[in-house]
Chains A and B, each alone.
Chain A
Amino acid sequence: MIQEITILPGRDRNGQAEKFDAITMRAGETISIVGPTGSGKTALITDIELLAQGDTSTGRYLLLNGQVPDEEMRYNPTKKPIAMITQNTKCFTDLSTVDFLTIHARARGISDPSIVRRTIDLANTFTGEMIHPEVKVTVLSGGQTRSLLIADAILIGAAPIILLDEIENAGIFKQEVVRLIQSTGKIVLFVTHDPVIALLTKHRIIMSNGSVQKVIAQNELELRAAQNLLELDQRVGDIREKLRAGHMITHVQLA
Chain B
Amino acid sequence: MKLLVIAGPPSAGKTALTKQIVKNFQSQLRIAYLKIDVVKAYEDIELKKEFSILTRKVYSGDLCPDHASVMVLGDVIDWAEENKADLLIVESAGLCLRCSPYLNQGLGVVVLSSISGIHTPEKMGAMVSLADVAVVTKIDLVSQAEREVFIQKISEIHPSGIVMETNALQGTSLHRLYNLIVNSEDITPDQLMLKGSPPIGTCTICVGKKEIGWKNHFGVVKRLDGPIADYLYRGE
Residues of A within 8 A of B (CB): 46, 49-50, 52-53, 55-57, 71, 74-75, 77, 83-86, 88, 91-95, 100, 103-104, 106-108, 149, 152-153, 156-157
**Contact (Cβ within 8 A) B170 A56:** yes
Q: Mark B113-156, 1 if CB is under 8 A from A, else 0.
A: 01111110000000000000000000011111110111111000
Q: Which of B114, B152, B175 has the most CB of A within 10 A?
A: B152
Is the pair B164, A93 in contact by a Cβ cutoff of 8 Å?
no
- Inter-subunit contact B118/A94 (CB<8 Å): yes
Contacting residues, chain A, for B11 (C-beta < 8 A): none
- Whether the Cβ atoms of A93 and B150 lie closer than 8 Å is yes
Give chain A's interface secondary structure class: mixed
A53 to B174, CA, bound (A): 10
**How many B residues have CB within 8 A of the partner chain?**
28
Which of B115, B118, B144, B151 interacts with A86 by CB under 8 Å? B144
Q: Which residues of B contact A (CB under 8 A)?
A: 114-119, 140-146, 148-153, 163-164, 170-176
List 19 A-B residue pairs with CB atoms under 8 Å apart, sorted by A's residue number.
Answer: A46-B172, A50-B173, A56-B172, A57-B172, A71-B176, A75-B164, A77-B151, A86-B144, A92-B114, A92-B117, A92-B146, A93-B117, A93-B146, A95-B118, A95-B149, A100-B145, A103-B152, A107-B148, A149-B145
Contact yes or no, A88 B145, CB < 8 A: no
A23 to chain B minimum Cβ distance, whole angstroms, is: 20
A56 touches B145 (CB 8 A): no
Nearest Cβ on chain A to B181's Cβ, whole angstroms: 14
Q: Is the CB of B145 within 8 A of A104?
A: yes
Contact of A83 with B173 in the complex, beta carbons under 8 Å: no
CB atoms of B141 and A107 under 8 A apart: no
A57 to B145, CA, bound (A): 23
CB proximity of A38 to chain B, nearest CB, Å: 15
B143 in contact with A88 (CB, 8 Å) = yes
B80 smallest CB distance to A (angstroms): 28
- Check B176 against A75 for contact (C-beta < 8 Å): yes
Q: A108 touching B148 by the CB < 8 A rule?
A: yes
Which residues from chain A contact B148 at a C-beta distance below 8 Å?
77, 104, 107-108
Known A-B contacts A55-B175, A71-B176, A107-B151; A94 and B144 likewise in contact (beta carbons under 8 Å)? no
